[in-house]
Amino acid sequence: MDNRSPIDRDIALISRSDAVPTILEVVARTTGMRFTAVARVTDTQWVACAVYDRIEFGLKPGGELVLESTICNEIRGHHQPVLFGSASEHALFSNHPTPKLYGFESYISIPIFLSDESFFGTLCAIDPAPAKLDDPELLKTLQLFTQLIAAQYETEQRRDAAELALVDAQSTARLRDQFVAVLGHDLRNPVQSISMGADMLERDLPDGRERRVAKHIQRSCQRMSELINNVMDFARGRLGEGISVSLERSHDLAGDLEHVVSEIQRVHPDRKIEVTMSLDRTFRCDRRRIAQLLGNLLSNAVTHGSDKAPVRVFMTSTESAFELAVENAGKPIEGDKIERFFQPFTRGTSASPRPGLGLGLYIAAEIAKAHGGTLQAASDASATRFAFHMPLDCDETSQPGLTNAGA
């Protein structure tokens, strides 16, 4: 929000223009007059917006003159330019109080009009000495300068308005992200309660329609939890917190990843998931986040891949890196589109509606970055593959091999 007064904004906009000081100097050199200024003139104020002063008149940007003591106030009423080279010899201005009050002999004041034809102020010049101002082309030149000043002012005004609109939009977006984060947090408790109730029902009910309904509720709750987690992670990232990770030795990472595969297999019993795992080293990572990354990649593959071929998962650790990849068969994705999947709210194209918000791959990529790794995508006629690569420090310690194939 801009708390400046309208006059202060006008001064700031004029002062931001690089052209105005040059115009004032050119007017001074063209006319031989040593004080030039752009004045904002309203029905209550005369305020200098920009000044070129070689006579030590003492007026600075923001400085004011008494409105009623200026000829500009009269110009505000009749909108006509006023020029004279010698006040003492001028039929009208020889007896005018303003030249005597401010001690000038030569004077110029050209009205400045904006594009909507409203009166802004004047381009002024004064000097204690007489000046030769009878060249008929001089007035045309000065009027062109006023048009240029008006154009510069309106350009800065539009830029100022655009910047304020951007700040307002950013504030609105931040408020929206805060709301989303709070909403996601508050949704967790009821979803967990429903999930616990469904678990109890599944255990207690005999096989039949009611138990199948309980299982369906469980799967829906799991899906809702995934959506809430993704929304909250996205909101945290937008609010500047980023994806948080807690790095610890990965002593049971294999078990965490197997659990993720098992959960997704349970939700999609008709899909075949093949796992190749060879983890023979411990290393520092956030096991919960790595599991979330795998879950997002695997859910994406199961959802968008062909149901006629298995989804394949590869997990390996070497002395230098941990790698996790998920690939699925299906229609290849064009190269100019695949990278867009890492942007938030991006979803694959399909003839039928697909579940989700389009945040899974974005969150996965952010988790990869938080671990100092990369998430890359490739697609051809044989498979679409998302691969996470995380370099390992040289001080990581090895442990007996953990190898698992198939799931």
pLDDT tens digits for the chain (407 residues)? 556 788 898 998 998 888 899 999 999 999 999 999 999 999 999 999 999 999 999 999 999 999 999 999 999 999 999 999 999 999 999 999 999 999 999 999 999 999 999 999 999 999 999 999 988 899 999 999 999 999 999 988 888 888 777 767 666 666 666 666 556 556 666 777 777 777 787 777 788 787 777 777 776 776 677 667 766 676 656 545 567 778 888 778 888 899 889 888 887 888 999 999 998 888 889 988 899 899 889 988 998 888 889 999 999 998 889 999 999 998 888 766 776 777 765 555 444 444 444 677 888 888 998 899 999 999 888 899 999 999 987 555 444 333 344 44
- Asked if 148 and 266 sit in the same domain, the reply is no
**Can you read off the two tokens belonging to residue 133?**
């101002």
- Asked if 148 and 272 sit in the same domain, the reply is no
* Ramachandran bin of 358, using left for φ above 0, alpha for ψ from -120 to 50, beta for the remaining angles: left
Residue 1 lies in a domain: no
Pairing of strands 284-285, 46-53: unpaired
Q: What is the CATH number of the domain that holds 73?
A: 3.30.450.40
Q: What is the pTM of this model?
A: 0.47
- Asked if 101 and 208 sit in the same domain, the reply is no
- Asked if 23 and 109 sit in the same domain, the reply is yes
Q: Residue 104, exposed/middle/buried by CB under 10 A (0-12, 13-18, 19+)?
A: buried
- Asked if 318 and 355 sit in the same domain, the reply is yes
Residue 243 lies in a domain: no
How confident is the model at residue 172, as a pLDDT?
Answer: 64
- Asked if 12 and 159 sit in the same domain, the reply is yes
Contacts of 216 (CB under 8 A, 6+ apart): none
Domain count, the chain: 3
How confident is the model at residue 345, as a pLDDT?
Answer: 58
Secondary-structure percent of the chain, ordered helix, strand, coil, rounded to 5: 50, 20, 30
- Asked if 365 and 286 sit in the same domain, the reply is yes
How confident is the model at residue 26, as a pLDDT?
Answer: 93
- What residue numbers bound the domain in which 278 lies? 248-405
- 119 three-state secondary structure: strand
Q: What is the CATH number of the domain that holds 287?
A: 3.30.565.10
CA 180 to each of CA 36, 121, 356: distance values in angstroms, whole numbers, following the listed order: 55, 48, 16
Q: Is the dihedral of CA 125, 130, 131, 135 positive or negative?
A: positive
- Asked if 276 and 356 sit in the same domain, the reply is yes
- Asked if 400 and 271 sit in the same domain, the reply is yes
- Asked if 33 and 135 sit in the same domain, the reply is yes
Distance CA(101)–CA(87), nearest Å, equals 12
